[in-house]
């Protein structure tokens, strides 16, 4: 996992292997202020990632709420011009300016679909997340603009997501004329547990906690507890089966970056190291 030394609000949230090379998700931690805008702030973060190595060839930009639209709009074109593949992962519909930036860069949009009911969607994704129904309606607008769209289903949690709920989510995604999905299984941290306890009945919360092997009253770290491997696999397999049943495909290219949706030919890859941020001007 990449770790930044800088105090920027922009942070690497996750690293994963993509078909074209290393990939990283950039965004802000829950409760943090929106990252600084401007090319210098983004270049500094990317330079640190390149220096830490291996340099990410795929960069996923996550919108937690509408306040993130400004820095993401600036970042999409900047990354594409330097040979990176940008993706926009969002829990909110994109404003007009960002839609146009995504279209120009040939970026793919990943819509976060966590639960059919808006209050549970927000508990799982953060207070700024908007209803899954709004996101799926927005998918049709993006497709009409010539933008490729996929859905991220999750974070799935045991007891919270039973087969009935997962099946409904997959059916809604298919009805929105989407084909490609990626499934995530969530961790259980203190903030997420508290948010879910506010919107779900206690028996559901207790069953979920038991699946994680914890007492729901237990003090949890903010980073969260992972689901044991057998339960994780079972939840993933159920989601895969239900997705296949309605005609959806999971990670068709073999990775979470949905590479099959990227027809763009990008400029040569450019490593953005700190020493290259201020190149000397030619005489």
Give per-residue pLDDT as tens, 246-255: 999 999 999 9
For residue 268, pLDDT over 90 is answered with no
Task: Indicate the pLDDT class of residue 281, thresholds 50, 70 and 90.
Answer: very low
Residue 278 is predicted with a pLDDT of 45
- Asked if the structure places residue 3 within a domain, the reply is no
Task: List, for residues 60-91, the tens digit of each pLDDT value.
Answer: 999 999 999 999 999 999 999 999 999 999 99
- Asked if the structure places residue 255 within a domain, the reply is yes
Mean pLDDT (the chain, rounded): 89
Q: What is the CATH number of the domain that holds 96?
A: 3.20.20.70
Rounded to whole angstroms, how far apart are CA atoms 131 and 120? 9
Rounded to whole angstroms, how far apart are CA atoms 182 and 107? 17
Task: List, for residues 27-57, the tens digit of each pLDDT value.
Answer: 987 666 677 676 777 888 888 888 887 889 9
- Nearest residue to 84 via CA among 268, 278, 282: 268
- Asked if the structure places residue 2 within a domain, the reply is no
For residue 266, pLDDT over 90 is answered with no
Q: What is the torsion angle, in degrees rounded to the nearest 10, for the CA atoms of residue 115, residue 119, residue 125 and residue 128? A: 140
CB 137 within 8 A of CB 115: no
Task: Indicate the pLDDT class of residue 223, thresholds 50, 70 and 90.
Answer: low
- Asked if the structure places residue 270 within a domain, the reply is no
* Rounded average pLDDT over 198-221: 88
For residue 282, pLDDT over 60 is answered with no
What 3-state DSSP class applies to 194? Answer: helix
- Asked if the structure places residue 266 within a domain, the reply is no
Residue 275 is predicted with a pLDDT of 47
* Rounded average pLDDT over 201-220: 88
Beta sheet of 58-63, edge-to-edge order = 11-18, 21-27, 58-63, 85-90, 108-113, 149-156, 180-185, 249-250
The more confident residue out of 1 and 46 is 46
For residue 220, pLDDT over 90 is answered with no
Q: Structural domain of residue 205, as residue ranges?
A: 11-261
Rounded to whole angstroms, how far apart are CA atoms 116 and 162? 12
Task: Indicate the pLDDT class of residue 10, thresholds 50, 70 and 90.
Answer: confident
- Nearest residue to 186 via CA among 152, 156, 222, 212: 156
* Rounded average pLDDT over 238-266: 94
- Asked if the structure places residue 280 within a domain, the reply is no
Total number of domains constituting the chain = 1
Element (H, E) at 185: strand 180-185
* Rounded average pLDDT over 211-223: 78
Residue 136 is predicted with a pLDDT of 98
- Asked if the structure places residue 274 within a domain, the reply is no
* Rounded average pLDDT over 108-133: 97
Q: Is the peptide bond before 54 cis (omega within 30 degrees of 0)?
A: yes
For residue 187, pLDDT over 60 is answered with yes
- Asked if the structure places residue 219 within a domain, the reply is yes
């Amino acid at each position: 996992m990449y770790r930044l030394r800088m105090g920027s609000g922009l942070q690497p949230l996750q690293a994963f292997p993509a078909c074209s090379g290393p990939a990283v998700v950039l965004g802000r931690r829950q409760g943090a202020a929106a990252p600084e805008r401007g090319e210098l702030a983004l270049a500094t973060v990317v330079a640190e990632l390149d220096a830490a190595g291996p340099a990410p060839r795929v960069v996923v930009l996550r919108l937690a709420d509408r306040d993130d639209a400004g820095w993401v709009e600036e970042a999409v074109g900047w990354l594409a011009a330097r040979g990176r593949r940008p993706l926009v992962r969002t829990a909110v519909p994109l404003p007009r300016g960002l839609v146009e930036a995504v279209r120009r860069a040939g970026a793919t949009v990943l819509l976060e679909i966590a639960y059919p009911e808006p209050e549970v969607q927000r508990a799982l994704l953060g207070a700024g997340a908007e209803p899954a129904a709004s996101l799926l309606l927005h998918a049709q607008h993006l497709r009409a603009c010539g933008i490729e769209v996929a859905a991220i289903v999750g974070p799935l949690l045991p007891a919270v997501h039973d087969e009935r709920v997962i099946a409904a989510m997959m059916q809604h995604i298919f009805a929105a004329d989407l084909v490609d999905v990626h499934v995530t299984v969530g961790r259980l941290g203190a903030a997420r547990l508290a948010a879910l306890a506010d919107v779900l009945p206690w028996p559901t919360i207790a069953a979920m906690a038991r699946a994680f092997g914890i007492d729901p009253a237990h003090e949890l770290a903010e980073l969260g507890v992972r689901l044991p491997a057998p339960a994780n696999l079972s939840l993933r397999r159920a989601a895969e089966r239900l997705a296949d049943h309605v005609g959806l495909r999971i990670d068709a290219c073999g990775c979470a970056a949905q590479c099959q949706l990227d027809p763009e030919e990008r400029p040569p890859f450019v490593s953005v190291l700190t020493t290259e941020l201020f190149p000397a001007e030619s005489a």
